[in-house]
Amino acid sequence: MISQDIQKVLIEETQINERCKELAAQIEADYQKRGQVPVIVGLLKGSVPFMAELIKRFTFPCEIDFMSVSSYDGTESIGDVRIDKDMDLSCKGREVLIVEDIVDTGRTLREVKKLLKRKGAADVKVVSLLDKPERRVVEIEADYIGFRVPDEFVVGYGLDYNQKYRNLPYIGVLKPEVYR
Ligand SMILES: O=P(O)(O)OC[C@H]1O[C@H](OP(=O)(O)OP(=O)(O)O)[C@H](O)[C@@H]1O
Ligand code: HPA
């Protein structure tokens, strides 16, 4: 059982669901005012559970797409951001809402925002389930944040360690022996 590898739970599933409700209401109010049909772009793979929980609460018209970018090897940021899969839809002249699982160093977000702006997106906003501000090396903030987390490597609810633990329904910290 993967839950045996967890040292502590930081954020319970019920807290995540509650926060998703609040975030969805806030985003809905903002986008309704704008009157456009935004493209909601999930960054694979970590954003999948959060995106699913969030978008089912939207009642405004929107389109969904995904991008795949990689920037981590184990617990280490490789410093470089690689685009493995681009959006299928065009973002030219569109309002884009990026869905992230975590903003850590900020490098991924900087590169993805840069790319979408270069491709002509009219507006790029970001919603992230987690924010780890102590680790930031790039000056960037998400527009909507679920929870702030301390400077610890977290897993669950989409977040992985070496591709595992994404399916945990909560956010937790692994036992140190798992990294050995
Ligand atoms: O702020 P940063 O330091 O750039 O880190 C945040 C990014 O790192 C993780 O992606 P990863 O490359 O591990 O891909 P994944 O979503 O498939 O796990 C996470 O999903 C964010 O996209
Ligand atoms: O704390 C983290 N956990 C999982 N993936 C991550 N990518 C950046 N930071 C993290």
Q: What is the pLDDT of residue 77?
A: 65
The Å distance, Cα 30 to ligand 2 centre, comes to: 28
Its pTM stands at 0.95
- The span from the CA of 127 to the CA of 52, in Å, is 13
Per-residue pLDDT tens over the stretch 12-51: 999 999 999 999 999 999 998 888 999 999 999 999 999 9
Predicted complex ipTM: 0.97
The Å distance, Cα 28 to ligand 1 centre, comes to: 25
- The span from the CA of 85 to the CA of 70, in Å, is 10
Q: Which residues are catalytic?
A: 104
Ligand with an atom nearest the CA of residue 45: 1
Q: What is the pLDDT of residue 115?
A: 92
The Å distance, Cα 144 to ligand 1 centre, comes to: 17
- The closest-lying atom of ligand 2 relative to the alpha carbon of residue 161 is 4
Per-residue pLDDT tens over the stretch 91-150: 999 999 999 999 999 999 999 999 999 999 999 999 999 999 999 999 999 999 999 999
CATH of the domain at 77: 3.40.50.2020
- The closest-lying atom of ligand 1 relative to the alpha carbon of residue 46 is 16
| CB neighbourhood size of 3 (10 A) | 12
Domain span including residue 64: 2-179
Residue 80 backbone dihedrals phi, psi, to 5 degrees: -110, 145
Q: Within 6 Å (CB) of ligand 1, which residues are found?
A: 43-46, 70-72, 77, 100-108, 160
Q: What is the pLDDT of residue 71?
A: 77
Domain count of the fold of the chain: 1
| For ligand 2, mutation pick of 50, 81, 128, 154 (most atoms within 8 Å of CB) | 154
- The span from the CA of 155 to the CA of 10, in Å, is 10
| CB neighbourhood size of 127 (10 A) | 23
Q: What is the pLDDT of residue 63?
A: 97
At 79, the pLDDT band (50, 70, 90 cuts) reads low
Per-residue pLDDT tens over the stretch 150-169: 999 999 999 999 999 999 99
How large is the angle between the packed helices 13-34 and 48-55, nearest 10 degrees?
60
